[in-house]
Chains A and B, each alone.
Chain A
Amino acid sequence: MSKIGITALVPPELIFACDCSPLDVNNFIPESRKYPRNKLCAWTAIWKEMLIQKEIRIESLIVVAGGDCHNALVDGQKVAMSGTRTHFFFYPFDGDAEYLESQLWRLSDFLGDIKNPDKFKEITNLKKLGQDMDKKRYNGKINPGEAFRILISSSDLQSDPDKFRKAISSIRENNIELNSRVALIGVPPIYHDFHDVAQSLDLAIVFDELPYEFIRHGGNNIREIARDYCNYTFARPLEFRINFLQKELEKRNIDGVIHYTQFACHHMLEDEVIRKELDYPVLTIQGDLPGKTPEQIKLRLEAFREALLRS
């Protein structure tokens, strides 16, 4: 089965249906010790270098060039120039489902056409298990950190639906006390221990914005997935995303919001709008290179916990 690198959310059901297996190249970044030579955002700069130096083994790469960032667009081209077969995938900003459907057909052509259409249903059902797990997390039945580890891996379903299913079924249910209920929005933190650190400081992360997008969308054929994925919030206008967030935060009974931003990432510019529009205490943090959560960030988390206790 061909291993297909993806740089952001690309419908994994389509990749599996084309008898290929997705591999989210971002999964390698938080544990990486690389210091990329020419970087803006460390996420894209590191996968770019690892792909060019063949430290991540893939047959082809799908770069999300519309609905992600221009850093990915440029770094993806560098990977393409190094000889990796690359496809550029664009989400519509206006949510046009027909446009997205045409994009998905082009992607299907790039992957050699659909050979196993049953995979659409199989992956959709797997994602429902992910959604159940997410619900159990915000209802205090599953450890937030453990749930995050599964949710973040649902962009590529660990490259193997069976492995992903086993990972979900291995999670044990407990009664978890959720003191300060926190939503983590923005791109995922680049620090591999971030959720554990937050939990050790009594901040229970019960919503991870981007991983939730990974399990939220699906469908049984290209037409259906186009009509669902066109509402992928990161690709849509900020107002659309904020409306969606407000509903999720309310549903999860959130006490405060952590907005993680990445150095040199355009999402940083959204911070002032998010702070203005979301009626919750908001902690903004900014990361740069991967590794353990730095002490300065821990101070902010600790102070945020104290602030939530005051409110």
Chain B
Amino acid sequence: MIGLDVGSTSAKRVTIEKGELKYNITSSQNWRDLVDGIDCDEIISTGYFRNSVPHRASVTEITAAIHGVRHYFPDIDVIVDIGGQDTKVIDIRKNNFMINDKCSAGTGAFLEFVANYFRLELVELGRLHMNAKRIPDINNTCGVFAISEMISQLVAGYSKEEVIAGMHHAFARRISFMIPDAEKIALIGGTVKNEGMVMALKDLLRKEIFIPPEPQIINALGALKYYS
């Protein structure tokens, strides 16, 4: 049996063989590579395309996230799943969830704007953040207009590293508005691999933050666990 998460930007496959978790990741368009030779009866799907790919059973990303996170952290209060096109906040205690998919300012797409502007790979943003000596205020809540504000801060003399740190803080602030008061918060999704963004979120929330070893495969793992 495999857990298959075909999301807006990437596809992930998870199996557990003899107790060992194995995974593969590719772009969403190439999801077929992940199921080559696998019978659809062996697939538990999740993600935006959960119902478009062959599957034995499908489950939403919200439920998958709960099962996936519990594999690592059984008593978490709130899950924040920062994806490429949306951010989901799941309050496990109240069995409630919120999704932001209307505004890019709280999603991975926002950080892609930033990386594209500086002609950087997404993964470089976190490393550059660590070299910032000051953090400029970036207040605009619109992802597109925040870029204009970022340029103004460059004109004002802030370095690239500092402006990136400012953008991470603006991004984290936006997400923090969605997060209910909780003691134990798990972060998942590919964007969580950006250590600058995580640092900004920790600064703002000042709560216990838990991040699983491979945060981008949690929903695929959760789909698998959901059916097991």
Establish whether residues B60 and A299, one from each chain, have CB atoms under 8 Å apart when the complex forms: yes
Task: Decide yes or no whether B123 CB sits under 8 A from chain A.
Answer: no
Establish whether residues B62 and A307, one from each chain, have CB atoms under 8 Å apart when the complex forms: yes
Task: Decide yes or no whether A311 CB sits under 8 A from chain B.
Answer: yes
Establish whether residues B97 and A307, one from each chain, have CB atoms under 8 Å apart when the complex forms: yes
Establish whether residues A281 and B96, one from each chain, have CB atoms under 8 Å apart when the complex forms: yes
Establish whether residues B95 and A307, one from each chain, have CB atoms under 8 Å apart when the complex forms: yes
Task: Decide yes or no whether B192 CB sits under 8 A from chain A.
Answer: no
- Taking the closest CB of chain B, its distance from the CB of A268, in whole angstroms, is 12
- Taking the closest CB of chain A, its distance from the CB of B142, in whole angstroms, is 16
- Main secondary structure, interface of A, reads helix
Interface residues of B in 66-122 (CB under 8 A from A): 86, 94-99, 101-102
Contact residues on A (Cβ < 8 Å of other chain), bracket: 10 to 19
- Taking the closest CB of chain A, its distance from the CB of B73, in whole angstroms, is 18
Residues of A within 8 A of B63 (CB): 303, 306-307, 310
Residues of A within 8 A of B59 (CB): 306
Q: Which of A295, A296, A299 has the most CB of B within 10 A?
A: A299
Establish whether residues B96 and A306, one from each chain, have CB atoms under 8 Å apart when the complex forms: no
Contact residues on B (Cβ < 8 Å of other chain), bracket: 10 to 19
Residues of A within 8 A of B96 (CB): 275, 281-282, 307
Establish whether residues A302 and B60, one from each chain, have CB atoms under 8 Å apart when the complex forms: yes
Establish whether residues A281 and B95, one from each chain, have CB atoms under 8 Å apart when the complex forms: yes
Residue in B48, B62, B94, B102 whose CB lies within 8 Å of A306: B62
Per-residue 0/1 for A277-292: is the Cβ within 8 Å of any B Cβ (1 yes, 0 no)?
0000110101000000
- Taking the closest CB of chain B, its distance from the CB of A287, in whole angstroms, is 11
Task: Decide yes or no whether A39 CB sits under 8 A from chain B.
Answer: no
- Taking the closest CB of chain B, its distance from the CB of A208, in whole angstroms, is 22
Establish whether residues B101 and A306, one from each chain, have CB atoms under 8 Å apart when the complex forms: no
Establish whether residues B99 and A306, one from each chain, have CB atoms under 8 Å apart when the complex forms: no
Residues of B within 8 A of A300 (CB): 99
Establish whether residues B95 and A303, one from each chain, have CB atoms under 8 Å apart when the complex forms: no
Per-residue 0/1 for B176-204: is the Cβ within 8 Å of any A Cβ (1 yes, 0 no)?
00000000000000000000000000000
Q: Which of B86, B96, B102 has the most CB of A within 10 A?
A: B96
| Known contacts A281-B96, A282-B96; is-contact A303 B101 (Cβ 8 Å) | no
Residues of B within 8 A of A296 (CB): 86, 99, 101
Nearest B-chain residue to A310, judged by Cβ: B95
Interface residues of A in 255-311 (CB under 8 A from B): 275, 281-282, 284, 286, 295-296, 299-300, 302-303, 306-307, 310-311
- Taking the closest CB of chain B, its distance from the CB of A118, in whole angstroms, is 50
Nearest A-chain residue to B62, judged by Cβ: A303
Residues of A within 8 A of B61 (CB): 299, 303
Establish whether residues A299 and B99, one from each chain, have CB atoms under 8 Å apart when the complex forms: yes
Nearest A-chain residue to B101, judged by Cβ: A296
Residues of B within 8 A of A299 (CB): 48, 60-61, 99
Q: Compute how far the CA of A275 lies from the CA of B101 in the bound complex, rounded to whole angstroms.
A: 20
Nearest B-chain residue to A302, judged by Cβ: B60
Q: B-contacting residues of A (Cβ < 8 Å)?
A: 275, 281-282, 284, 286, 295-296, 299-300, 302-303, 306-307, 310-311
Given contacts A284-B98, A295-B48, A296-B99, 13 further A-B contacts (CB under 8 A): A275-B96, A281-B95, A286-B102, A296-B86, A296-B101, A299-B60, A299-B99, A303-B63, A303-B97, A306-B62, A307-B63, A307-B96, A311-B95
The list of the 9 closest CB pairs from A to B, nearest first, reads A303-B62, A303-B60, A306-B63, A307-B95, A311-B95, A302-B60, A296-B101, A281-B95, A306-B60
